[in-house]
Amino acid sequence: MNAKFFFFITLFCSFSAHCQWFEAQGQAVIRNNDNQAARSQATQNALKKALLVAGASVSSIQQVVNGLLTQNELSIRASGSVQALELVDEIYHDDIVTVTIRADILAQERQCFSAYYRKGLLLTKSHLVHREQANIGNIYAIDTTLILNLAQQLKENSHFADVKLALKNKTNFSQYNQGIYSSALKPLSMSLASMTNSQYIFYSEIEDISFDSKVQNGWQFWQEDVFDRNFKLNLYVYDGTNGEVIFDKKYQGTAPWLFSKRANVDVNSETFWHSEYGEMVNELLSRIVMDIDDNIMCKPTRGKILNVAGNKILINLGAKQGVKIGDEFSLLHLNNFVNSLGETYAGFNVSNYKVKITQVSQQTAKAITLDSTLLGNIQKDDLAVRY
């Protein structure tokens, strides 16, 4: 499925200079054949994104207009306001509903312009916490295959993630995360981000792939016993600029394991991913894609400065990330420091410089200061930021 979240703004209103129509698309997984609940969730998802792009900070969305949702309250923190909302389209495909809405939102002084850019997201190899649980089915390769499938779903359905992969070797994340060296997670994330030109680092731990003890087909005495198998994934997304965690969540599900316990199961095969267990895991991955988009959408887009010459800079963001000629960025001077305990912290000195993009390639862009001022203390590895 290639449906994606998208945003664009068209001015229709002649009666108010502040009136803007925002069109947005949201998705939701259909659970237990409840199309109405999924439609409601997808509509909320789309409206939330439209409001954030418009500059509102959404505390909760429970009802819109025209009976699209079921409650009777729309709560928006700050000054965001929905004047009207139209349901443009809804498409059902497999177990996903995609809803397109058009909302008339009062324009805010500060819009979420960073939502128009893709942020570099590095996916690292997952960690099997209890490797012995993979013995049944010989599914040890799930730590890599899971991330490959997630990467594919992000590429097809995410509007805000520019996916990169680091799967050849495991990181030390789980060793640090489960031990007494959690302070090492900051420099680890910052180092990986620097090496791969990524803004965010994705780590995960497969905590549980054990079996339930209750037989699911006990009445079918002529068949091999079927047991439910669990799946529990712990997800962590770190900001590679400062090493801080921005999002962490646990995902879990259970489904029948319909393979023989003595059979080796190829987790790269269609047979596995089309089984009930594989489809359950795939649904969890769909939810992860939505949650990642929600969490990085309006985060500032940060690009590293690759070169400085007079009043011109070269940054490591380009057309692939959504950068266009005429876009404006603020500049931050990087000022990392280490405390007395040896812990690394990211510091930034906000400069008065702003630059405008003048030339764009796929992976980089050139920019010049707005007033042709020479860039004094700005240097290589400092940051260009779009809020």
Domain CATH code at residue 86: 3.30.1660.40
In a domain, 2, yes or no: no
What is the CA 366 to chain-centroid distance, rounded?
27
CA distance 367 to 304: 13
Q: Is the pLDDT of residue 198 over 70?
A: yes
Quickly tell me which residue has 């295959």 as its tokens.
145
| Both tokens assigned to 277 | 């267990």
**pTM given for the model:** 0.74
| Both tokens assigned to 374 | 């020479």
Quickly tell me which residue has 């001015």 as its tokens.
11
Distances (CA, A) of 332 to 120, 161, 213, 303: 18, 23, 56, 10
pLDDT > 70 in the chain, percent: 80
pLDDT tier at 116, thresholds 50, 70, 90: confident
pLDDT tier at 130, thresholds 50, 70, 90: very high
Judged by DSSP in three states, 48 sits in: helix
Task: For residue 188, give its domain range.
Answer: 116-296
Question: What pLDDT was estimated at residue 111?
Answer: 57
pLDDT tier at 12, thresholds 50, 70, 90: very low
**Same domain flag for 355 and 292:** no
In a domain, 273, yes or no: yes
Question: What pLDDT was estimated at residue 9?
Answer: 33
User: Which residue, 212, 220, 206, 207, is CA-closest to 254?
Assistant: 212
**Same domain flag for 248 and 360:** no
In a domain, 265, yes or no: yes
Question: What pLDDT was estimated at residue 75?
Answer: 38
**Same domain flag for 96 and 230:** no
In a domain, 1, yes or no: no
Question: What pLDDT was estimated at residue 56?
Answer: 55
Q: Which residue has the higher pLDDT, 308 or 184?
A: 308
Average of per-residue pLDDT across 272-293: 94
Q: Which long-range contacts (CB under 8 A, 24 or more apart) does 89-95 make?
A: 90/39, 90/42, 91/3, 92/30, 92/35, 93/1, 93/3, 94/1, 95/29, 95/30, 95/31, 95/283
| Domains identified in the chain, total number | 3
pLDDT in tens, 93-105: 888 899 888 877 7
Domain boundary among 111, 135, 169: 111
**Same domain flag for 292 and 305:** no
**Same domain flag for 247 and 379:** no
Distances (CA, A) of 139 to 226, 270, 277: 17, 14, 13
**Same domain flag for 264 and 305:** no
Domain boundary among 84, 111, 138: 111
**Same domain flag for 121 and 101:** no
